[in-house]
């Protein structure tokens, strides 16, 4: 193999990698990927969830599709988008982890938003599993029920944030309640913990998600 052909190969290979990097360079596209990692969605639903116009949301989806990070399927009158594979979700989890570890600004931002004297600091995966195995905590999934049905953490109860107060009688008061949602930047779990603590429950949140635990996730 000549040096010129080797150079051409490297240039082409890194160009493909750059296309993936470019697709991930938009905050909106990263949020779209996180949502699609939970469950498939239409462009109409995604536009509402990321607070962008239909046109902008469609543009972001096409960029993600060109990078082969999402796929689409027509279902009746709608086009439904889904993540291209669990490895894409794992890539997003890894990106979030690397950024949280190396970006002082991101670490400060998340700490100031989530950690407070009310005990909303996050339980890590090892601590959560140990306390669940010991029967010390009840884990609740506060994402929309459709996301729970696609995949959830073993032993979790589905109690969407929008239905929290309607299911209080299902929650024990002699054990801690731990809420989880989509990942480290999802605010549902913190809101659930705050509401439950205001009602007298011993409540915490966790950054753990279905994809951050890999095979520990349950997919019915």
Contact yes or no for 84/69 (Cβ under 8 A): yes
Considering the candidates 139, 181, 192, 208, report the single residue annotated as catalytic.
181
**Whole-structure pTM value:** 0.88
Q: What is the average pLDDT score of the chain?
A: 91
pLDDT, tens digit, for every residue of 95-129?
A: 999 999 999 999 899 888 887 655 466 788 888 88
**Biggest distance spanned by C-alpha atoms of the chain:** 72
Going from N- to C-terminal start, the domains of the chain cover 3-84, 107-218
| Residue 113 in tokens | 């938003």
Q: Please report which residue ranges of 157-211 form alpha helices under DSSP H.
A: 188-198
Contact yes or no for 179/204 (Cβ under 8 A): yes
Question: Do 3-84 and 107-218 share a fold?
Answer: no
Using a pLDDT cut of 70, give the percent of the chain over it: 93
Average pLDDT over residues 64-75: 96
The answer to whether 181 is a known catalytic residue is yes
Q: How many helices (H) and strands (E) does the chain have?
A: 9, 10
Superfamily name and number for 107-218: Rhodanese-like domain (3.40.250.10)
Backbone dihedral region of 186: left (phi > 0), alpha (psi from -120 to 50 degrees) or beta? beta
pLDDT at 3 over 80: no
Q: State the fold for domain 3-84.
A: Arc Repressor Mutant, subunit A (1.10.10)
Contact yes or no for 83/76 (Cβ under 8 A): no
Q: Which residues pair with 177 in a beta bridge?
A: 138, 203
């Amino acid at each position: 193999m000549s040096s010129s052909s080797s150079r051409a190969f490297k240039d082409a290979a890194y160009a493909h990698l750059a296309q993936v990097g470019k697709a991930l360079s938009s905050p909106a596209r990263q949020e779209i990927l996180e949502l699609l990692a939970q469950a498939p969605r239409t462009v109409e639903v995604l536009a509402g969830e990321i607070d962008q116009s239909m046109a902008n949301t469609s543009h972001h989806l096409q960029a993600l599709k060109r990078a082969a990070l999402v796929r689409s399927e027509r279902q009746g009158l709608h086009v439904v988008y889904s993540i291209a594979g669990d490895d894409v979700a794992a890539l997003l989890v890894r990106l979030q982890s690397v950024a949280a570890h190396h970006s002082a600004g991101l670490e400060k931002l998340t700490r100031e938003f989530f950690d407070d004297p009310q005990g909303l600091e996050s339980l890590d995966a090892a601590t959560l599993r140990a306390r669940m195995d010991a029967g010390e905590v009840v884990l609740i999934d506060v994402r929309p029920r459709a996301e729970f049905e696609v995949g959830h953490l073993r032993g979790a109860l589905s109690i969407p944030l929008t239905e929290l107060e309607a299911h209080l009688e299902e929650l024990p008061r002699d054990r801690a309640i731990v809420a989880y949602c989509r990942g480290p930047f999802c605010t549902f779990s913190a809101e659930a913990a705050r509401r439950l603590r205001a009602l007298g429950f011993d409540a915490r949140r966790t950054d753990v998600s279905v994809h951050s635990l890999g095979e520990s996730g349950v997919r019915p």
